[in-house]
Structure 1
Amino acid sequence: MITESTQINVGAVSNFPQDLGSCVKINGKQIAVFNLPTEQKWYAVQNFNPQNQRMVLSRGLTGDADGEPIVICPLHKHRYSLVTGECLTDSAYSLETFPIKEVDGELLIEA
């Protein structure tokens, strides 16, 4: 099955805090957005944590695990790769990731 995706402008990059998560809603999906300025990169993953069934990942802590950028669930401390969506503490779980980029001071997510 082929699904069509579209780049959605979610706002000015200045609206998103550095080193913290934010949440945007696109087509009924909550997406956690992270700005990691030390890497000069943006990441977008589903906000829904499949392990505890809560929309909390945008409130998680960011960091790295052996050089891989991660988000840590604020409730139970499960760690997820922001690059692949893989859960680093339990391989039975993973997150959907979304392509994200900055263009002319605006943030675009492909969803």
Structure 2
Amino acid sequence: MNQWITVCDEDDLYLDAGACALVNGHQIALFLCSHNNTLYAINNYDPIGKANVLSRGIVGSLNGTVVVASPLYKQHFCLESGQCLESAEMLVPTYPVRRFNGSVQVQLIVSLIR
């Protein structure tokens, strides 16, 4: 089952700056990027720095890839795939995100256990 959760108003987000939302016990980093006006949602946990800090990172582009640089050790995580550009084995989860009637929604995929 897929469920869209409203996390904030679109006006709550600033261009090229992150915001953190708590969704079903998970910290999710939200980004609105100025160069393509696209929303991104990734897990806020930096697996290298071992802290929930990615929403405080610097948004930019490296070789055409939209990234956030972790504020701890400056690794770059692709906002589309969650892949760390410096360490191929490191990956953060990404989430579908959309605009809906002026709000920002994140989609959570819920598995039913029978």
TM-score bracket for the superposition, by shorter chain length? over 0.9
Unaligned stretches of 5+ in structure 1? none
TM-score by length of 2: 0.91
1:30 aligned onto 2:27 = yes
Q: Residue 103 of structure 1: CA displacement?
A: 1.4
| RMSD between superposed Cα atoms in Å | 0.8
Q: Residue 38 of structure 1: CA displacement?
A: 2.0
The AA in structure 2 aligned to 1:98 is: Y
1:96 aligned onto 2:93 = yes
Q: Alignment partner of 1:6: what SS?
A: strand
Could you list the runs of 4 or more consecutive aligned residues of structure 1 that deviate by over 3 angstroms after TM superposition?
none
Q: 1:42 aligns with which of 39, 53, 67?
A: 39
Q: Residue 15 of structure 1: CA displacement?
A: 0.9
For the residues of structure 2 that align with 1:38 and 1:14, how far apart are their CA atoms? 17
The AA in structure 1 aligned to 2:34 is: P
Unaligned stretches of 5+ in structure 2? 109-114
For the residues of structure 2 that align with 1:5 and 1:96, how far apart are their CA atoms? 16
Q: Residue 87 of structure 1: CA displacement?
A: 0.5
Match of 1:13 in 2: 10
Identity %: 31
